[in-house]
Amino acid sequence: MSIVNSIRSQLSPIHPEGFPFIGGFALISLVLFWVWTPLGWLGVLLTAWCAYFFRDPPRVTPVREGLIVSPADGRVSLIANAVPPPELGLSDKPLPRVSVFMSVFDCHVNRTPVTGRIEKIVYRAGKFLNADLDKASEDNERNAFLISTASARIGVVQIAGLIARRIVPFVKEGQTVSAGERIGMIRFGSRVDVYLPEGARPLVAEGQLSLAGETVIADLAFRDTNRTHRVG
C-alpha cells in the first residue's frame, strides 16, 4: 500500500450536510488572508475543524435479535429511569434511559439502535440549555423517533444543546430501517436519549465512550443481572 493510499484509508468521508459549512469557512479564510495572514491561517484551522465535525465514518454494526446499539458517538452522560416524552406515546411510566452526550469534537451523524419500523417522528421546539443537564430532556428543542421491532418499541430522542440549533432527520414515518442505519444529525454539540423497554438493563456505564452503530448498550435477548463495571 502506498503512502497516499495509507493516508486516504485513515480519512473519513464527509457528510453532504457539511459541504455548505465547509465552503463557507473556506471562503471566510480567503477573506481573512487578504485582511491579515495570521487570521487566514486561523480560518484554515476552523475550516479543518468543520470538515472533521461533519465526518461520517463507516461503522460495523453487530446484528442479532435483541441487540440495541448506541445511536450516537460520545460519552454516556446519564443512565436512569425516566418518563419518555409524551409525544411519543411510549409509556407514562419511567423506563430505562441511556443518554449519550456529543461534544463538538464527536461525530454527529446519528444511527438507529435497532432494526425496525419508524412508527412516529415528532419535533418539538424548545430551549437551548446545556445538553449535558438532565432537564434538557424536557426543556430543549428535540426530535423524537418511535421505532417498533418484532418484540419491542424503542424511543430515540435527539436533543439540541447549548450550541446546536439545527436537528436534521434523514428518515420518514413508516420507513423500515436497519440497526446502525443513519437516521439524522444534530449540528454542533448535543445529546441523544434512548428509552429501553421496561426491565431492560443497560450494558454501558456513565462516563463510558460509545460509537454510533457499534457499541452495544443493551441486549433484550440476554438479561445479564450480574454485570458490573470497573473504572481505571
Domains of the chain, residue spans: 3-53, 67-219
Residue 11 banded pLDDT, cuts 50, 70, 90 = confident
Q: What's the mean per-residue pLDDT of the chain?
A: 89
Residue 225 banded pLDDT, cuts 50, 70, 90 = low
Instruction: Say if residues 192 and 157 touch (Cβ distance below 8 Å).
Output: yes
pLDDT(4) > 70:
no
Secondary structure of 148-188 as H, E, C letters? ECCCCEEEEEEEECCCCCCEEECCCCCCEECCCCEEEEECC
Q: Is 29 annotated as catalytic? A: no
pLDDT of residue 60: 96
Residue 46 CA neighbour count, 13 Å, CB half: 16
Q: What is the average pLDDT across 155-170?
A: 84
- pTM, to two decimals: 0.89
199 vs 228: CA distance, rounded Å: 17
165-206 pLDDT tens trace: 678 899 999 999 999 999 999 877 689 999 999 999 999 999
Residue 3 banded pLDDT, cuts 50, 70, 90 = low
119 torsion bin: left (phi>0), alpha (psi -120 to 50), beta (else): alpha
Q: What CATH number matches the domain at 67-219, 3.40.50, 2.70.70, 2.160.20, 3.30.70? A: 2.70.70
Residues ≥6 apart with Cβ < 8 Å to 36: none
Using the structure block, give the residue that is written with the C-alpha cell 475550516.
47
**Active site residue: 77, 99, 190, 210, which one?**
190
pLDDT of residue 127: 80
C-alpha grid cell, residue 162: 447549548
Instruction: Say if residues 113 and 69 touch (Cβ distance below 8 Å).
Output: yes
More confident residue, 40 or 225: 40
